[in-house]
Structure 1
Amino acid sequence: MLGASAVQRLLIATASTVLALVVGLVVVAAAGYDPATFLVNVFEGSFGDATAVAQTLRSTTLFVLTGVAVAVAFRAGVFNIGVQGQFVVGGFATVVSILWLAPLAPENAVGGAALLVCGALAAVVAGGLYGALPGVLKAYADANEIITTIMLNFIVIGVVGWLVDGPFRGEGQRAPNTARIPEHVDFPRLVFDVPDFSVVGLAVALVAVGAIAVVMERTRLGYDMITSGHQEAAAAFSGVDAKRTIVATMTLSGMVAGVAGAVFAVMIQGYYSDPSGIGTYGFDAIAVSLLAANNPLGVVPAGLLFGGLDAAGRHIGIYSDVPVQLIDGVVGLVVLFVAAPELFRMAARRTGLGGEDR
């Protein structure tokens, strides 16, 4: 694994995914359900009709954005496990900024677009700052970023949960939610006429992928990030400020996670609710990034796979008698099989086991 190229790692991840699905079908059969019917339901739930495709692309959009956020950090050798928290901060900042600025903007398409831009900027700033915090702690206080990012996830979930149930709770809301953002502040519903997906959101995700790929592969910042992550001594010898690079890496990762939160808040919710119930996109993104071998471009097909599994799981849970726990178990097998090779690779690089560090 230490000597595997990016293409070889992608092939290993693909084979791991296929093997996980095969094992999952065996588990389904052992549980007393028809694996062939289960497989048909998976396809129908993910690509069976226009609505299924829209649901798959909706989840794909979020998995791609959060997956790229993870890939930025992992590719640079920094373990950002806090994408979920940065995702929450970005989404909450988007909704609050739009609600604050809405009275100042005209109630038309131009005003809606301006508010969307302001909300996106707020998400980028909030997510970036929340990502920079564990970066500063790692760079200047030698704090383990895995521990600090995990802790910061729970902190922001608790704080935002209190805010939407208290000071920012919308009038007349039975559940702990903010007020809804104005109806004209939304992505246009193009191609798919469904209430919680827009190809504009998917386009934002693809633009983010392209931008991050260019930054990582074609800029001095990207070179410094990757070099610092893989050969810290060589980076320091060539004049790279390792501490500043760590902070920049975590900031960039948090900024992308903030954009993911903004897309979720605008495209799917239209308000902000208790973050403990909004999904685990930031955590699932770790497996998405590992499946893509931490390559920003590889995150797109990896995100599509997880988006399809997510949509299929909801479909099976509604239209079949297969227990939802079994569905989650099959998805968990995919995550486990995909993550294991990359985790061994990371462990080998960190410990020096398995051969020369490359």
Structure 2
Amino acid sequence: RFAIAVAATAMALALGAVIVAASGYDAVEFVSSLVYGAFGSRANVAFTLRQSTMLILAGVAVAVAFRSGVFNIGVQGQFVVGGFATAVTILFLAPVLPTGAVGGALLVVLGVVAAMVAGGAYAALPGLMKAYADANEVITTIMLNFIASGVVFFVVDRYLRPAGASAPNTEQFPDYVQFPSLVFDSASFSVIGLGVALATVVVVYVVMARTRFGYDLVTSGHQEPAAAYSGVDPKQTVVATMTFSGMVAGLTGAVFAIMILGYYSDPSTFPRFGFDAIAVSLLAANNPLGVVPAGLLFGGLDAGGQYIGFTLDVPPELVDGVVGLVVLFVATPELFRMAGKRTGLGGDDR
């Protein structure tokens, strides 16, 4: 899979360079700027790692559900709800808790817990509907994305916007509520956030591959009759799968609110990490460990694409198209592999 990803990326960049040249732009400058934008300077590397951190976390949330045979397309909504829960927790508890490093650490922990509870509860809704009402989880999770954004926007705009603010934002978090800036001198990235993402990958992998709970999730999703015969309740397992996935998505929202924003605002302006994470998970074959290199690849493409948009006189639609080609080339082999397995034409699973 790693070789396929590297070859697909190279082919997509080559085709993208041809398209750029045919459009009348310098293809060599385009590709070199894409690479430089991702890794060419300390600040660019920090931005790449920032985007990768978010994509790794969101990708793991998607992988938990997909690996268990449940399609959670609502990670974006659970990400929004989780970040909002973090913001509300920090803003409401900050006046009653100590200030300084101790108070900041306590607020961060409480904010993260609130995000995971909120994200898990929000994901449990479509899980309950699928398990006990036979509702299609693809449709329900997609709709809940829009509901989350609309409701959070309304609450922030109506009740949490500071007096005189020109945009629907909450107040800034206290200065002591943040991840320490280590290694990279960046206001929106901390290696602590990346460490949280990598620790989450390890925990999820161990749970899914080395515990009975994880075994029940995977077995129930792919072999429901066998799981039921062995004593597993498939309906409860579906709800547990969605809840577990939503908890990771909520954690993603907490890291976004604390590490990147430092406040909360209109969710419609947020990056679409929850949707991009679907491609990340597919590239990783829904393996939590594989999400790490996949997230780094997509984070680098995102950073490079944004750099081109700021520095070159290239239409943003062309930049998005080339980046989209890379995503398509990289994700397509896994899509064909999944289709082959489901139709019986894919051979073994090696």
**TM-score band, normalised by the shorter chain?**
over 0.9
Question: CA-to-partner distance for each residue in 1:117-143, whole Å, 9 max, x for gaps?
Answer: 000000000000011111111111111
Match of 1:182 among 174, 185, 188: 174
SS in structure 1 opposite 2:189? coil
Contact 2:337–2:346 under 8 Å retained in 1: no
CA shift for structure 1 position 323: 1.5
Instruction: Give ranges in structure 1 of 5+ residues lacking alignment.
Output: 1-8
Tell me how far apart the structure 2 counterparts of residues 14 and 229 of structure 1 sit (CA, whole Å): 31
CA shift for structure 1 position 335: 2.1
Question: CA-to-partner distance for each residue in 1:245-302, whole Å, 9 max, x for gaps?
Answer: 1111110100001011000001111111100001100000000111111110010111
Structure 1 165/282 Cα, relative in aligned 2: closer, same or farther at 3 Å? same
Does residue 41 (structure 1) correspond to residue 15 (structure 2)? The answer is no
Does residue 354 (structure 1) correspond to residue 326 (structure 2)? The answer is no
Structure 1 segment 114-193 matched on structure 2, within 5 A: 114-193=106-185
TM-score normalised per structure 1: 0.94
Contact 1:120–1:262 under 8 Å retained in 2: yes
Contact 1:10–1:293 under 8 Å retained in 2: no
Question: Counterpart of 1:284 in structure 2: which amino acid?
Answer: D
CA shift for structure 1 position 14: 3.8
Contact 1:82–1:149 under 8 Å retained in 2: yes
The aligned residue for residue 224 of structure 2 is 232
Contact 2:308–2:314 under 8 Å retained in 1: yes
Does residue 64 (structure 1) correspond to residue 56 (structure 2)? The answer is yes
Question: CA-to-partner distance for each residue in 1:145-179, whole Å, 9 max, x for gaps?
Answer: 00000000001111111111111212332111111
TM-score normalised per structure 2: 0.96
Contact 2:339–2:346 under 8 Å retained in 1: no
CA shift for structure 1 position 18: 2.8
The aligned residue for residue 321 of structure 1 is 313
Tell me how far apart the structure 2 counterparts of residues 357 and 249 of structure 1 sit (CA, whole Å): 26
The aligned residue for residue 278 of structure 1 is 270
CA RMSD of aligned residues (A): 1.5
Q: Which moved more, 1:185-194 or 1:326-335?
A: 326-335
SS in structure 2 opposite 1:165? helix
CA shift for structure 1 position 109: 0.4
Contact 1:20–1:337 under 8 Å retained in 2: yes
Tell me how far apart the structure 2 counterparts of residues 132 and 48 of structure 1 sit (CA, whole Å): 42
CA shift for structure 1 position 15: 3.0
Structure 1 segment 3-82 matched on structure 2, within 5 A: 9-82=1-74
Instruction: Give ranges in structure 2 of 5+ residues lacking alignment.
Output: none
Does residue 103 (structure 1) correspond to residue 95 (structure 2)? The answer is yes
Tell me how far apart the structure 1 counterparts of residues 113 and 219 of structure 2 sit (CA, whole Å): 29
Contact 1:10–1:291 under 8 Å retained in 2: no
Tell me how far apart the structure 2 counterparts of residues 114 and 86 of structure 1 sit (CA, whole Å): 23
Tell me how far apart the structure 2 counterparts of residues 300 and 357 of structure 1 sit (CA, whole Å): 25
Contact 2:81–2:115 under 8 Å retained in 1: yes
Contact 1:56–1:311 under 8 Å retained in 2: yes
CA shift for structure 1 position 196: 0.6
Match of 1:309 among 291, 296, 301: 301
Percent of aligned pairs with the same amino acid: 66
Tell me how far apart the structure 2 counterparts of residues 109 and 238 of structure 1 sit (CA, whole Å): 50
Task: Name the count of aligned residue pairs.
Answer: 349
Match of 1:260 among 248, 252, 262: 252
Question: Counterpart of 2:147 in structure 1: which amino acid?
Answer: I
CA shift for structure 1 position 353: 5.0
Contact 1:171–1:179 under 8 Å retained in 2: no
Tell me how far apart the structure 2 counterparts of residues 301 and 254 of structure 1 sit (CA, whole Å): 22
Contact 2:13–2:31 under 8 Å retained in 1: no
Contact 1:86–1:254 under 8 Å retained in 2: yes
Tell me how far apart the structure 1 counterparts of residues 123 and 2 of structure 2 sit (CA, whole Å): 27
Tell me how far apart the structure 1 counterparts of residues 208 and 249 of structure 2 sit (CA, whole Å): 16
CA shift for structure 1 position 234: 2.0
Question: CA-to-partner distance for each residue in 1:198-225, whole Å, 9 max, x for gaps?
Answer: 1110000000000001001100011111
Tell me how far apart the structure 2 counterparts of residues 79 and 341 of structure 1 sit (CA, whole Å): 19
Contact 1:14–1:291 under 8 Å retained in 2: no
Question: CA-to-partner distance for each residue in 1:5-51, whole Å, 9 max, x for gaps?
Answer: xxxx4443443333222222221121111221111101111111110
Tell me how far apart the structure 2 counterparts of residues 348 and 354 of structure 1 sit (CA, whole Å): 5
SS in structure 1 opposite 2:105? helix
Tell me how far apart the structure 1 counterparts of residues 10 and 136 of structure 2 sit (CA, whole Å): 34
Contact 2:104–2:177 under 8 Å retained in 1: yes
